[in-house]
Amino acid sequence: MSQSPVIVWFRNDHRLGDHPALCAAVRSGGPVLALYVLDDAAAGDWAPGGASRWWLHHSLAALGDNLAERGVRLVLRRGATVSTIAELAGDVGAEVVFCSRSFEPWARALEEVVHARLDRDGRQLRRFAGTLLHDPDTLLTKAGEPYKVYSPFWRALAKQGQREPQAAPGKIAAFEGAAGSDDLGDWKLLPTKPDWAGGLRETWQPGEAGAFARLERFLDGAVAGYREERNNPGIEGTSRLSPHLHRGEISPAQVWQAVSARAARGDIPQKDAEVFLSEIAWREFSYHLLYHFPSLPVAAFRPAFGAFQWQADELQVDAWRRGRTGYPIVDAGMRELWHTGWMHNRVRMVVASFLTKHLLVPWQVGEAWFWDTLVDADLANNAASWQWVAGSGADAAPYFRIFNPVLQGVKFDPDGRYVRRWVPEIAGLPDDKLHAPWTASREVLGKAGVELGKDYPEPIVEHGFARDRALAAYEKIKG
């Protein structure tokens, strides 16, 4: 007697380990039909951008392979999620659909509609945790309010105790019936002409295996000393797990468990582990904010910023995007982003501060560029972080905290390794001029083979002027 099949609807949980929805589906006893739906319309403005689509392609390919090893085929469908799921469930006679909860506003809305439709058809949608350590509606202040400040949120989270990750199901009974699937290649998620993904291929291995390779590498290497080294963009001082976490190729519970276990054994310094885990908690905080304040990606969290006098000189924005601002640390970051689909977090703060404060460009412009170019583009992290830097967010950096791009370069890239890698045209400058080429004498510039304004731009805006202008603009909305 065969049970009716169950559908596992994959959505940014591209893994088999620690997947409560998948485990529950397997436990239900019904043969499993794995489904992914590409539904750009449902995501609206937040359909994946270019770099993210490249990642998505390879992530789905890897998930498909992982499932195939268990005898399960991943069915790919493109179109409206609701009708796709409802019709597939009808075609194969599935009574239950399992999924992990998602927390983007559009994804939550979609979940509700799918639930309503299945319910109407006499079927069920069962939703599970897995994307976050804690569902955003479970951690609240004593007053029952959402947290608006990070440190109490972090204290509450750390105190909470984290969920033990679940093992991947040992054996999965696969649905053997007919269910047509698109061909991944036909989705055209990969760039063709021009193929700009060379740097991405060199840098990343999307998929669950790649995610764990990254985690292991981090645990054996950079996590010891993380507290200091994470600020140096010229070395591999961070985990680089962000794109894997975004697509759910590894869960935050798995990361948390692995890091805290090593710290408990004394294999890695307690403080380094704690600082790293607090970064995982920043991700949780971002989702918490997005969940409780769904307009976070489009509107300033602090209402006063509604009146801020932004401007947007298209030429300057273009120089920022292309890494031609004349400030080496800024340009290095923007070029790393373009080439690899990722940017070191220290430098993200510097380039974001430069765009919003030196150029007075609305943070949403930067948010949109990051959305298109980051392989880890994540609505919650991206929105919360841009607002944090711009000063308009919850528990944000004070607006008057304006990074000096020269000092940031000197402080965090002291040997110039990062700038020389990404801005090779000024690599010949000595260390003490590298972060401020315009201060070099004619002789020094000549010896380095640099003609300012030709080989490398003059600064598009003078720091002192820009700082004063930004402070004056802020003064107008204060209070």
Q: Determine which residue in the list 41, 213, 264, 471 makes contact with DNA, applying CB under 7 A.
A: 471
Q: Determine which residue in the list 102, 238, 242, 408 makes contact with DNA, applying CB under 7 A.
A: 408
Of 261 and 400, the one with the shorter C-beta distance to DNA is 400
**426 token code pair:** 């000024």
Query: CB 233 → DNA: shortest distance, Å?
Result: 12
* Residue 338 touches DNA, criterion: CB under 7 A: no
* Residue 463 touches DNA, criterion: CB under 7 A: yes
* Residue 386 touches DNA, criterion: CB under 7 A: no
Q: Determine which residue in the list 359, 402, 445, 466 makes contact with DNA, applying CB under 7 A.
A: 402
Q: d(Cα 141, Cα 189) in Å, to the nearest integer? A: 42
Query: CB 230 → DNA: shortest distance, Å?
Result: 8
* Residue 349 touches DNA, criterion: CB under 7 A: yes
Contacts of DNA in 15-74 (CB under 7 A): none
- Cβ atoms < 10 Å from Cβ of 206: 24
Q: d(Cα 392, Cα 92) in Å, to the nearest integer? A: 49
Of 78 and 155, the one with the shorter C-beta distance to DNA is 155
Interaction mask 258-297, DNA, x per CB under 7 A:
---------------------x--x---------------
Q: d(Cα 425, Cα 448) in Å, to the nearest integer? A: 9
* Residue 479 touches DNA, criterion: CB under 7 A: no
| DSSP assignment string, 219-285 | HHTTTTTHHHHTT-TTS--S---HHHHHTTSS-HHHHHHHHHHHHHHTSS-HHHHHHHHHHHHHHHH
Contacts of DNA in 145-184 (CB under 7 A): 150
Query: CB 407 → DNA: shortest distance, Å?
Result: 4
From the number of C-beta atoms within 10 Å of its C-beta (0-12, 13-18, 19+), residue 102 rates as buried
Of 154 and 369, the one with the shorter C-beta distance to DNA is 154
Q: d(Cα 3, Cα 27) in Å, to the nearest integer? A: 12
Q: Which stretch binds DNA (CB under 7 A): 21-29, 44-52, 245-253, 402-410?
A: 402-410
Q: Is the peptide bond before 194 cis (omega within 30 degrees of 0)?
A: yes
Coil, strand or helix: which one is 359? coil
**198 token code pair:** 């060379």
Residues that bind DNA (CB under 7 A): 150, 279, 282, 345-346, 349, 397-398, 400-404, 407-408, 411, 463-464, 467, 471, 475
